[in-house]
Amino acid sequence: MTLSIILFLTAVSLIASAAALPGEAGLRRLGLPTRWVWAAAMAAGPVLLGTAALPALAARLPGSGSPLLPAVIVDLGGLAVGGGSGGVPPWFPLLEAAAPWLWGAASLSVVVFLLRGSRTLRRERGTWRPHTLQGHPVLVSPDRGPAVAGFLHAWIVLPEWSLSLPAEELRMVLIHEEEHLRAGDSRLLAVGLALAGMMPWNPLAWWQLRRLRTAMEVDCDARVLARSPDRHAYGTALLSVAAHLTELPLALPAFSESARALQTRILAMTRKTTPWTYPSAALLLALAALAGAQACGVDNPIVDPEATETSAPTPDASVVTAKDVSSGPTFTPFTVAPSVLNRDEVVAALNAEYPPLLRDAGVGGRVRVYFLIDENGMVQDRRIDTTSGHQALDDAALRVARAYRFSPAKDSEGVPVPVWVSFAITFQVK
């Protein structure tokens, strides 16, 4: 299950990144903010995962529905499917078992790192002197900044050497940090760090975080130039600050960062509008929307099978029909049990639906499935009775269940009756 979630989040991150790149380029051509594109790309995987998990969790809350009475468990000679090991290393199942612990340990390491950084920042802040500069309250540190720090109540920190900058350059630095404060960029960056910390094994998440930081600076540059449109003075200030920096701030929105980010910012500030600017922006945004929509098509490992499974139409009947017992698995009396009529087709479906990743890894499982079989032997509903412990196998079992055809159950008078039955579908490697 954990490996399935990791694969899902990685796939969504890849698709979201592929959508964010043209989306960012299109918005930048239009002079619009781009940081939200990368924030959305980072949130896409966890949001899709969470929205799929909520219905399943809600269904398990007390009072969310009537308790189900047990269905009749019928031995239908449970069918199994096998497959080769595919040369998978013997340690692969061990990795699957260890994955949740490794994930938790990695996330905990990120949390510890961030807490240590926060503690360092708080300790250093106690030694910084408050100062009012050109009407702006700031803290002056020996070497931190220029940057904005703080989550709920953010503040500006400037390094001591910045006070010796020419007045116009210092004014630009202050306006830049003031714009970070007004936009709440320190809070957005904290959310980005939290999202990356949820997926510490995902290099795409950390790359997206870097793109988010750069996009925040590009957006801030645009806001500064809207207030004070002297590009030459602002560019000079950027280069002056970059020349003095000896280390990056501790996860803070900063006036200047890496050389690559600085290059991106300067190119964004000096971009000129051409006749192709708006058509190319529209094309890029359309491409981003098309690519982003693909993320919704990635198979979600936490989709609730009972919520997504569709039932066949209920046939008309004059006396007793499957509608009478369709609310959920419950006891329904019968004398003659239903039997499988198409075992060969079911075995073929088992082979076709066995998840390749689990088959090749040598991972199997047994799923007990509820079937609602109507008077004609048709399956009207199918639900998980007992899970295999692997969502992918549970989902595969429900897909296999669609292939079953039964002879109808009959009462003591030989009249076909709708019944709920439960039996096992087994996936195993031989």
- Do 262 and 309 share a domain, yes or no? no
Looking at the structure, tell me whether residues 107 and 80 fall in a common domain: no
Same domain for 321 and 174? no
Domain boundary among 248, 266, 284: 266
* Percent of the chain at pLDDT exceeding 70: 79
The four Cα atoms 351, 356, 360, 365 give a dihedral, to 10 degrees, of -60
413's CB contacts (< 8 A; 6+ apart) are none
Residue 94 lies in a domain: no
Beta strand pairing call for 406-407 and 379-386 = unpaired
119 and 247 part of one domain: yes
Q: Which domain holds residue 371?
A: 72-86+301-427
The confidence band for 326, taking pLDDT boundaries of 50, 70 and 90, is low
Does some domain include residue 419? yes
For residue 174, being part of any structural domain is answered with yes
Instruction: Give the CATH number of the domain where residue 381 resides.
Output: 3.30.2420.10
Same domain, 105 and 244: yes
Mean pLDDT of the chain: 80
Are residue 249 and residue 340 in the same domain, yes or no? no
Residue 417 DSSP SS3: strand
Q: Confidence band (pLDDT; 50, 70, 90) for 215? A: very high
Question: Would residue 284 count as lying in a domain?
Answer: no
110 and 215 in one domain?
Answer: yes
pLDDT at 68: 40
Better-predicted residue by pLDDT, 87 or 429: 429
What would the pLDDT profile of 46-98 be if each residue is shown by its tens digit?
999 888 777 656 655 555 444 443 444 444 445 555 544 444 456 666 777 88
**The pLDDT value given to residue 97:** 80
Q: Are residues 256 and 118 in the same domain?
A: yes
- Looking at the structure, do residues 217 and 322 belong to the same domain, yes or no? no
Q: In the prediction, which pLDDT does 313 show?
A: 37
Q: Residue 107 CB: number of other CB atoms within 10 A?
A: 16
163-176, pLDDT tens digit by residue? Answer: 988 989 899 999 99
**What span, in angstroms and rounded, lies between the C-alpha atoms of 384 and 354?**
16
| 257 and 126 assigned to the same domain | yes
Q: Which of 266, 292, 317 is the last residue of a domain?
A: 266
Confidence of residue 291 (pLDDT cuts 50, 70, 90): very high
415 vs 60, higher pLDDT: 415
Last residue in a domain, options 216, 249, 266: 266
Q: Which residue has the higher pLDDT, 264 or 212?
A: 212
Q: Quick check: is 39 in a domain? A: no
15 inside domain: no
Q: Are residues 124 and 238 in the same domain?
A: yes
Residue 341 lies in a domain: yes
Is the same domain home to 255 and 107? Answer: yes
Does residue 32 belong to any structural domain of this protein? Answer: no
Kindly list the distances between the CA atom of residue 352 and the CA atoms of 7, 59, 72, 195, 245, in Å, as whole numbers in the listed order: 21, 30, 28, 36, 59
DSSP one-letter string for 294-352 = GGGGSPPTT--HHHHPPPPPPPP-SS--GGGGTTS------SB--EES-HHHHHHHHHH
Please state, in angstroms and as integers, the Cα–Cα distance from residue 399 to each residue in 93, 341, 353, 369, 383, following that order. 24, 17, 7, 11, 11
Q: How confident is the model at residue 314 (pLDDT cuts 50, 70, 90)?
A: very low
Domains: count for the chain:
2
